[in-house]
């Protein structure tokens, strides 16, 4: 049986308050998907974590790194990058038979092993772009013909504004720019 790279033995760490240890771990966490962004199942995820024994559990301060990919929300070109969230979480010992507190935002410390995987997954999921852009100036695709407007203007005639929205034109500042 293969042992998870995310399991950290904390017996020695927990012997006295204030003990610290550094753990550098890497492995796979499974596919993560948010909107059109994905960390593929075969992507190696790394973490540099400092574990500290505190009253009531183990505090973990870590930086997590993984490569993500997706499609631009405007032009549908492939995009990607590196996620590098910083996290600080508490792992708390639960006594046998004690139900998890629904309002508590800690990770469980089961026995003498601390599992970094749930924390790493959560950190990546919370930091993945929901609607990625290839570039802030991306012009997207023409809504009529589908031409990529980043490569040049298309030959479609300009679309007349919908007259049902004309009443809102009075809210626009002079010159047609946005006020903020």
**Number of Cα atoms under 13 Å in the Cβ half of residue 80:** 9
* 158 assigned to some structural domain: no
CA 14 – CA 58 distance, rounded (Å): 8
* 32 assigned to some structural domain: yes
pLDDT at 18: 87
- Domain span at 26: 7-127
* 89 assigned to some structural domain: yes
* 74 assigned to some structural domain: yes
Is pLDDT at 160 greater than 90 in this prediction?
no
CB atoms < 10 A from the CB of 134, how many? 19
Is pLDDT at 177 greater than 60 in this prediction?
no
pLDDT at 180: 46
The total domain count for the chain is: 1
What does the pLDDT look like over 78-122, one tens digit per residue? 999 999 999 999 998 876 666 666 656 888 888 888 999 999 999
Is pLDDT at 176 greater than 70 in this prediction?
no
Q: Which two tokens stand for residue 131?
A: 């609607």
CA 166 – CA 159 distance, rounded (Å): 14
What does the pLDDT look like over 34-79, one tens digit per residue? 998 999 999 999 999 999 999 889 999 999 999 999 999 999 999 9
What's the 3-state SS for 61-101? EEEEEEEEEEECCCCCCEEEEEECCEEEEEEEECCCCCCCC
Mean pLDDT of the chain: 89
Is pLDDT at 174 greater than 90 in this prediction?
no
pLDDT at 103: 57
* 20 assigned to some structural domain: yes
pLDDT at 106: 86
* 56 assigned to some structural domain: yes
Is pLDDT at 179 greater than 80 in this prediction?
no
* 151 assigned to some structural domain: no
Is pLDDT at 170 greater than 70 in this prediction?
yes
Q: Are 37 and 69 in contact, with CB atoms under 8 Å apart? A: yes
* 168 assigned to some structural domain: no
Q: Hey, CA dihedral for 53, 56, 57, 62, is it positive or negative?
A: negative
What does the pLDDT look like over 13-26, one tens digit per residue? 888 888 999 999 99
């Amino acid at each position: 049986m293969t042992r998870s790279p995310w399991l950290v033995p904390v017996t020695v760490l927990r012997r006295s308050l204030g003990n610290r240890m550094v753990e550098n771990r890497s492995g796979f966490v499974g596919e993560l998907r948010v909107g059109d962004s994905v960390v593929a199942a075969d992507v190696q995820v790394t973490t540099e974590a400092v574990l500290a024994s505190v009253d009531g559990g183990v505090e973990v301060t870590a930086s997590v790194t993984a490569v993500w990919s997706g499609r631009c929300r405007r032009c549908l070109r492939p995009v990607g990058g590196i996620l590098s969230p910083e996290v600080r979480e508490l792992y708390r010992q639960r006594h046998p038979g004690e139900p998890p507190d629904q309002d508590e935002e800690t990770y469980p410390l089961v026995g003498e092993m601390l599992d970094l995987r749930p924390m790493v997954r959560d950190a990546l999921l919370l930091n993945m772009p929901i609607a990625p852009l290839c570039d802030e100036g991306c012009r997207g695709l023409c809504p009529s013909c589908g031409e990529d407007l980043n490569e040049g203007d298309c030959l479609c005639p300009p679309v007349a504004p919908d007259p049902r929205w004309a009443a809102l034109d009075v809210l626009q500042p002079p010159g047609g720019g946005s006020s903020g």
